Structure 1
Amino acid sequence: MTDSRRITFVALAYAPSVGGSQLHVQRLAEGLALAGHDVEVLTTDAVGSIGARHPGRIEATDEVIAGVRVRRHRTPEPLRRVQRAFRGAWLRRPPWASGPRAHVVGPWLAGPLSPSLLASISVALRERDLVVACSAPFVTFVAPPRWPRRGAIVVGMPLLHLTRSEVALGVRRSLRRCDVLVASTEHERAVHRRYAGATTALHLIPPGADLDEAADCEPAEARARLGLPERPTVGYVGRLAAYKGIDTLLAAVAQLWETHPEVGVLVAGRPSGYDVAQAASDAGIDGERLVIRESFPDEDRGSLLAACDILAVPSHEESFGLGIAEGWAARRAVVASDIPAVRSLVRPGVDAQLVEPGDPLALASALAALIVDGGSRTRLADAGRRRVEDELRWSVAVDRWDALVRSSTGGRSREVVS
C-alpha cells in the first residue's frame, strides 16, 4: 500500500515472554504487519521481569515472528546489577529521607540499561517513519521522545500503572515530547492531557481480548478438560506478581471458606519471582481446595479462564486490566479492585463488581454474594461478553492503530477522540 509505514515498537519484553504489556505490543505489531506495514520490535532478551534477580534469557537475537522482525538486546550483567542495587536502595531509604513521592521510580532506576538497545533506538529515530515508545517508567518509553530524530514521528504508549496519578519527572518530560500519545483508558488520557505538549495528539485506543481463543463451554466442562476437581471455583489467571493483589485474594479465600467450604480456588499464571505457595501459606491456605498452575501451554489459557465460575482481578495497580476483558470474553463474572484504570473500564454492578483494593473482607463478601446468586453471575458475564463483542476486540484496536499510523504525516495535531 502506498500509505504503509515503517513502524518500530520499543518494548520492555516480547513473545515468548508473557505479560499484559507483551501481549498488547504483540497483538498490535502483528496486526499492523498483517495490514501491510513494515513492523519491527526493539526489545530486551528477558523472559521474565527485567527487575527480577534472574529474569532468564531468550536466545534468539534477531528473528521474524508472524511477520514482525524482533530484535532483542542484552543488558550487560554488571550494568543490570548496578541498576538493581540503586533501585533497591531508593525503595528502601528511610521514611525521613523519602518524602511524598517515595514509591515513584524514575526511568534510569527502572532500566533496562542496554547500550545496544539505546543505539538501535537512535537508528530507528533516523530511519523509520514511526517509533512507538512503550511502558513507562522504563527507558523503552523515556528514551525515544527525548533523543534527536530525523522525520520519525514518536508515538507514546506509556501504559501508565497509576494509583495516585503520580508520574516520575523523567516520564513527564517524555510525555511532553511525544508527537502522539495513546492511552488505554479515559483515566490515563486525563494524565496525558495534564502533561502533554500543547500540540500533541491524544488518542484513546483500549486493548482487547480474543473471542476466538475464549473457551465456549461451561465451567464444569473446562475443569474436566484440565483435570481440576469439580466444585464451584473462584479463580485468578494472570501475571503472578505482588502488585496483582494475589495476597488479597488468598486472604479473602480464608474468610470465604468459613461460610463456603465447598469453593475451590485456582491461581494460574507465569512465574515472575512472586512465590504464590508462600503467600498461600502466609494466609493459612493449603490443601486440595487450592490449585496453583504456574506453567501451562498457551492453548490452556482459555480453558483456565472458563474453569472459573467467578474471576477475581484484585490488582493494586493496572494500566488497563486485560484480565477483566479476558474474563468477559470467557463469559465469566468478574470481581475487580476499584482502582482508577479499572473504574474507567467497567460499569460497576452492570458488567463487574468492584471492591476496595487490598481489602480481603470486601472481596470475600463480593465473592460470597455471587457464589449463591447464579442469576447475578450470568447477568454480569453476559454484559461483559457484550462489551468485548461491541468494543474490546483486538481487531478493533488494530484498526484504530492502522488509521492512526496511516494519517500520521510528521506534524502534530489537535486532540483526537478515537
Structure 2
Amino acid sequence: MFNTPEVQNLADYTLYIDAVTGRKRSWYDFRDTVYDGATALGAPVSQGGLGLNGDDGDIVGIFSHNCMDYIALVHSLLVITTPISLLSAYSTAFELAQALRTSKVTRLFVQPSLLEKAKSAAKDVGLSQDRIYILEGRVGAKRSYQDLVDDVRRRGIPRVPMKRATKDTLAYLVFSSGTSGLPKAVMISHGNLWTILVGNVMTRDEEEKITKPTPPASPPVWLLFLPFYHTYGVHMACFRSFARPMTYVVVPKWDADLVLRSIPKFLVNVLPLIPSAIHQLVNHKLIDKTDLSSLVSVHSGAAYLPPALSEKLKTFVKNVPHVLEGYGMSEQTLSASRKTYPGMFGLQPKSGSVGVLVPGLEGRIVRPDGSEANVEEPGELWVKGGSVALGYFGNEKATRETFVDGWLKTGDTFKADQDGQL
C-alpha cells in the first residue's frame, strides 16, 4: 500500500487526528512509525527486536478501543507478515480468554484501561505476562508500542525489509459468528485485502464519472468511531487511507455527543455510520443545533438501513445527496455489494436494495435444494472471488460448511432483479 508511485510521491499532510486530545499524526510521521515499529517487532532478538515471525506461528492480538497507534501497529505487523488477531474491546475476561485461545495469540497489545482484564485472560490461556505490551499510553514499567519504536530510533537498529506476502498469506483474524454458532476467527489474507482495495478504486472511478467531483483544496476529513476490531472499522481506518490523501479524525468509541461536537469542530466531510448510530443521531436532542454543513458523504453498513431512517437522516445532512449503502460480512473481507449512484452502470438505485456486486465478485442466488433461483426469486446468496476469506482459523468443520468449492454461503436471503441489483 505504501509502495505505489502515487503514495510514495505524496507531499506530507495530516493523516490522523485524535478527536479527544487534538493530537495529530502526519503522513510522514505515520510512515516512519510503521517501519520503525516493524523493525522493533520483527528484527532478531540479537539485534534488539522482538523477533516476531508469522512463519514460526506468531500471532499478535490487539485488545483496545480506537487510537492512532492501533492503526500503526496493524501496518507494522503487515510489513513483517505476522498475523493480527483483532479482539473486541468489550469482551469480558472469559470471552477474551476464549478469543485468545481460538486465535492462538502469542503476544498481546492492550489499552491501559483494559490491562487488568487482559492479564486475567492471559493467565487463563497460559500467555506469560512479559508477552503483554501497552498499545498507547503508559502503565508502570510495561513496554509500549511507542517505547519499542523509540528504542529502534535510539539504538539505530537497521530497518527490516518489507517481507514478501503471497495472496494466501494470512494478514489478520477478525471474529464473526458466521451464519450460526459461537464466534469464529475469520482468516483474511493479503490477497483478500488487495482485491478489496483494487475493487474500491475501480468503484470510486466509476462513481466519479457520474458525480464529477471538484478536486478538493485539502484532504477530505473522515470521522472514525467504528470499532477497529470489526471488519467495517478496520477497513475504514487502516486500508482506505492511502489511495489518495485523506485526514481521519479518530474517536475512541461510539459517543453520540462527541461525534456531534467533532463534525463542526474538525469540518468533517465523510461520515461512515451503522443504522443503530443513525437512529441515535437523528433522535439526538442536539442534532438540530449542530452545524452539519461540512458533510458531503455519509456511508451506512453492517446492517440493513430502513428507507425511512435513511430519509430522516437526509433531512439533517442537506449537502449529502445520497446515503451510500451496501452489504458485506467479515467472511467476504468487507463489502459484497454497494448501492450505485443514479446513472452509474446505467442503473437507478432502488429503495430497499443493497446495490450490485462489487468488482471481481461473482454471485448466485440458490434455492434450498441447491438449484439456481430465477430472477426476482428469493434464495441464499453465494459469492465467489478474490475477496472471499480463506476460512475459519482452526475450525475445519465450520469452514467446510460455509466455504464450498470457492463459494461463500452467506446465509442471507436475497433476490436479484434483471439488472443484478440485490
Length-normalised TM-score, structure 2 = 0.29
- Choose between structure 1 and 2: higher strand proportion: 2
- Choose between structure 1 and 2: higher helix proportion: 1
Return the structure number with greater relative CO, CA threshold 8 A, min gap 6.
Answer: 1
Length-normalised TM-score, structure 1 = 0.29
